Chain A
Amino acid sequence: EPEVTQTPSHQVTQMGQEVILRCVPISNHLYFYWYRQILGQKVEFLVSFYNNEISEKSEIFDDQFSVERPDGSNFTLKIRSTKLEDSAMYFCASMLGVQGYTFGSGTRLTVV
């Protein structure tokens, strides 16, 4: 069964450093998403991406965040200058149609 692949599975970074979280969505999917989940809490929408541009973003997705789909397969989330409160599980998801998202296994980001 096709999968959404995320790397790395765990990233530890120092406060103020830049991080790039990588995702390879399912190849024929058209919509791409990033969500985050602070430990034990709800799954929060960050950004959606369609047709090579951001279609919607939440208030969490401020100027410190950016997304790219540089080569038609990878889908990346960059956090420019990490803060302690950015520590969370970040999930990438992709979708073809109404059947919903396929989520990746997540990247646990720890900012120290």
Chain B
Amino acid sequence: ELKVEQNPLFLSMQEGKNYTIYCNYSTTSDRLYWYRQDPGKSLESLFVLLSNGAVKQEGRLMASLDTKARLSTLHITAAVHDLSATYFCAVTHNNNDMRFGAGTRLTVKP
């Protein structure tokens, strides 16, 4: 059974600081996704990582994928309050079915 683990589950950081969220998964997959969820809202796609070594950046967020280590990272640079949200990684399983990590609840404090 595919397991997707994220850490940390809760992250409180100061504005302007950097931090990394980690996503490990248990079986071979070459597609990994990062989503953002604001409270009470739906899931917004952030990044799609389709191959080993893929790196994508959007603003203060950068995601990478190492399929050999079964690890993806979401790096936050110089955090701002607007980044406060829950971030989920998800991995495809059995064709296109996606399984989610437990989520990382990020709070950015002034």
Contact = CB atoms under 8 A, between A and B. Distances in A.
B99 interface: yes
A56 B95 CA distance: 10
A45 B42 contact: no
Contacts of A99: 48
Interface in B55-98: 88, 90, 94-98
A99 B48 CA distance: 6
B97 A102 contact: no
A45 B31 contact: no
B104 to A, nearest CB: 11
Interface in A23-56: 31, 33, 35, 41-45, 48, 55-56
Among A42, A99, A105, max chain B CB count under 10 A is at A42
B54 to A, nearest CB: 12
Contact of B103 (A42, A45, A91, A102): A42
A42 B45 contact: no
Nearest to A106: B42
A42 B96 contact: no
A42 B41 contact: no
Interface in A87-103: 91, 95, 98-103
B41 A105 contact: yes
Given A48-B96, A98-B31, A99-B48, A42 B43 contact: no
A45 B43 CA distance: 14
Given A91-B42, A100-B48, A102-B45, A42 B97 contact: no
Which 4 pairs, one residue from A and one from B, show the smallest C-beta to C-beta distance? A43-B100, A42-B102, A103-B43, A103-B42
Interface of A: 31, 33, 35, 41-45, 48, 55-56, 91, 95, 98-106
